[in-house]
Amino acid sequence: MSDVTPLFAGYTTGWAVYAAGLALLIGAQLWLLRRLGWRLTVGLALFSAVAFGLPVNAYVGEPALAPALWVALYEGLLLGSGYARGGAPLATTLVVSQLGYWLLVAVLWLLARLLRRGR
């Protein structure tokens, strides 16, 4: 265990700072887009949280994680090896999270409409 500890000495701190920056980004986004309506604003905040926060393995075979968007951009643009390792999980998670969110919004809207009609 002592050989792994120096490898991850700043790793947890780095992720904590990255997560704090992501929280500030999403908070600023929510504040700036507050006039668009809560459904769209929260949908965009969810998109940002998934796009910038989804972790994948930073290097093949290593336990260290990195944000999928940056891994996909680095490998696709600089290495020319394609976007699949970071891009495929990112695209899948973005689609599933947005579909789930908008389905939940539609169900809540229908329930609210049915409850108002039942009065």
Residue type, 118: G
- What's the pLDDT score for residue 58? 80
Residue that wins the pLDDT comparison between 63 and 19: 19
Return the percentage of the chain with pLDDT > 70, whole number. 92
Residue that wins the pLDDT comparison between 62 and 49: 49
Helix and strand numbers, DSSP H then E, in the chain: 4, 2
Query: Model-level pTM?
Result: 0.81
All structural domains of the chain with their residue ranges = 11-55+88-117
Query: What number is the average pLDDT over the span 11-38?
Result: 91
Cα angle 99-105-111, degrees, rounded to a multiple of 5:
135
